């Protein structure tokens, strides 16, 4: 009996979108992608933390975040969209 409903065949969005191949086209290696996306996710997280304090030291998300989207997913969508430029050694 095949599964039906929202669970059938549905993978969590973060696993399938954006596709890893699209992200790897934007950087030199998978290791660079990990470091690059983690740094940007940390900046996004710091941005949300500073909002309550009235500080504007960090840049917020450059794409429209989903209601429960995590900073790492936002960072990867920014990379896929070409809104960020990776420079080796950063």
Give the model's pLDDT for residue 43.
Answer: 95
pLDDT in tens, 21-48: 888 888 889 999 999 999 999 999 999 9
Please give the residue range of the domain that contains residue 24: 13-81
Q: At what angle do helices 30-51 and 71-81 cross, to 10 degrees?
A: 120
Count of C-beta atoms within a 10 Å radius of residue 21: 7
CATH number of the domain within which 24 lies: 3.90.940.10
In a domain, 2, yes or no: no
The reported pTM is: 0.76
Band of residue 10 on the pLDDT scale cut at 50, 70, 90: low
Residue 13: pLDDT band with limits 50, 70, 90: low
Residues in the chain: 90
**Do residues 17 and 70 touch, judged by C-beta distance below 8 A?**
no
Establish if 24 belongs to a structural domain.
Answer: yes
The number of distinct structural domains making up the chain is 1
The answer to whether the CB of 76 falls within 8 A of the CB of 23 is: yes
Would 8 be classed as within a structural domain?
A: no
Which has more pLDDT, 7 or 52? 52
Integer Cα distance of 6 and 18 in angstroms: 20
Q: Within a domain: residue 6?
A: no
């Amino acid at each position: 009996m095949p599964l039906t409903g929202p669970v059938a065949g549905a993978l969590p969005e973060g696993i399938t979108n954006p596709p890893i191949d699209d992200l790897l086209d934007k950087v030199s290696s998978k290791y660079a992608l990990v470091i690059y996306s983690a740094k940007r996710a940390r900046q996004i997280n710091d941005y949300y933390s500073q909002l309550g304090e009235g500080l504007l030291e960090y840049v917020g998300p450059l794409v429209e975040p989903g209601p429960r989207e995590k900073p790492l997913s936002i960072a990867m969508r920014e990379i896929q969209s070409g809104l960020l430029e990776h420079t080796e050694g950063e």
